[in-house]
Amino acid sequence: MGYKKEPQVFKAKIGEVVIGAGDAAVTIGGENVWSFYSFDAPIEHKPATGIEFSDKGPDRSLPELAAFYEGAESVADIAARACTAPGADFVSLILESADPNGDNIPSEDAAAIAKEAAEAATAGGKPLVIQTTGNTDKDGELIPKIAEAAQGHNVLILAAKEENYKGIAVAAVTAYGQKIGAESAVDINLAKQLNVLIAQMGIAPGSCVMQLGNAAAGYGFEYLASTIERVKLAALTQNDDTLQMPVIIPIGSDAWAVKESLVSEEDFPEWGPREERGIEMEISTAVAALAAGANAVILRHPAAVKTVSGMVDQLM
């Protein structure tokens, strides 16, 4: 008896979200098969890989990273350089200096930085994803200002949470036409609830992506992977339209904050150079997130971006 191939194509599909303006626009989502199952049905928009940078500049103690950003000092220069990273589908600004536990610069100043980055990204032909502070109060005040400042660039702003989604969703999406991420803490029901609440504010489905949590491989990552899988399972097998937003997972901050990427080579000579370890943490985490079903990942190191997007290209 011969082998008969049965394509596993679902009647349901993940929604599409377009980020970026004009030539810089990129679409994520839209698939109706498991991740990378392009043999079951064509996947029109491949999972996107982004490269992130802080408004305080790259970690220049990492030789390869420092070389990549050499000569780029201003946020605009750094953003422009990031746009040239091989394999990067989008760039991402982390507004680190706006963090209330850090420099805590005023929202107006942070919005001006975001505008600078958005202009540089659009000029460089890449969409911009902005990662804010994660502080509920500060983000509630900051995100509407960013959305206003970056008008016309169709940026994706991460993220709205259950505590502050109202003002963020209405200001960013409805008033200024940007895209937002809905952030929940590794729990399918909380993700669903937040999506429902955001939809109730009159936010169209094509304006919102899900940020389901963050973790580095080996550090509770299996919870995140399982949540991504369960969300996709509900979205595709049960046609649950409250869970059909594309999924974005920021990887860089967590991957570079674990012991493997932090301890120095002097302390652990047998582990080899720190930069290589960090890149490997990023790659292994990102690949697992993509396999679980993420539609976009954000990485910090250009070498990791190149490897991960290369893998995506070869699998599609």
Partner 1 sequence: MKKLFDRVFDGADEMYSIAEKALCDAVEELGGDAPLAMPNTAYYLANFLSYTTRKVTTIGELKEAFEEAKQWNIHDQNMGAVFKTGFGVFMAAEAIEACKYAKGPDPYEGKYHGHLSDAEVRELGVPLVTNDIPGFVVVYGKAPSDDEAVDIIKGYQTRGIFVFLLGEIIEQARRKELNMGFPVRVVAVGPDIWQVAHIISFVNRAAMIFGAVQPGDRWALDDYTFWRIHAFVNVYEPVSDIVVSCGAGAIAMGFPVVTDDEKDMWPVPKSILIQKDTQAFIETSLEARDIKLKITNVDIPVAFASAFEGEIVRKADTRVDFDGARFPSFELVRTLEAHEIEDHSTELFGPDIDDMPEGESLGIAMIAEVAGKNMQTDFEPVFERNFHYFINCAEGVMHTGQRDIIRLRVSKAAFDAGFRLKHLGEILYAKIMSEYDTVVDKCQVKIYTNQDELPALKAMANEVYDKRDERLLSLTDESVDVFYNCILCQSFSPSHVCIVTPERLGLCGAVSWLDAKATNQLNPQGPCQIVTRDRPLDPEIGIWEDVNENVVASSHGNLESVSLYSIMVDPMTSCGCFECICGIEPYSNGVVIVNREHFGITPLGMTFPEMASMTGGGVQTPGFMGHGKHFIASKKFMKAEGGSARIVWMPKALKDMVRSKLDATAKELYGIEGFTDMIGDETVAEDPDALMEFLTGKEHPALGMDPMF
Contacts with partner 1, residue ranges (CB under 8 A): 144, 148, 166-167, 170-171, 174-176, 187-190, 193, 196-197, 200-202, 204, 226, 230, 233-234, 237-238, 240
What SS3 class is residue 193?
Answer: helix
Rg of the chain over Cα atoms, rounded to whole angstroms, equals 19
Tell me whether residue 99 or residue 187 sits nearer to partner 1 (CB atom). 187
Residue closer to partner 1, measured from CB, 144 or 250: 144
The residue (of 90 and 176) whose beta carbon lies closer to partner 1 is 176
Identify the three-state secondary structure at position 91: strand
Shortest Å, Cβ 111 to partner 1: 14
Query: Which residue, 188, 217, 213, is CA-closest to 287?
Result: 217
First to last CA, the chain: 30
Tokens of 43: 């996947």
Distances (CA, A) of 147 to 77, 140, 177, 246: 21, 12, 8, 21
Q: Closest distance between partner 1 and the C-beta of residue 232, in Å?
A: 11
Give bridge partners of residue 160 from the DSSP assignment: 182
Closest CB to partner 1 among residues 86, 202: 202
Least distance CB 194 / partner 1 (angstroms): 9
Least gap, CB of 273 to partner 1 (angstroms): 39
- Least separation in angstroms between CB 164 and partner 1: 10
DSSP 8-state class, residue 242? G
**148/276 with CB nearer partner 1:** 148
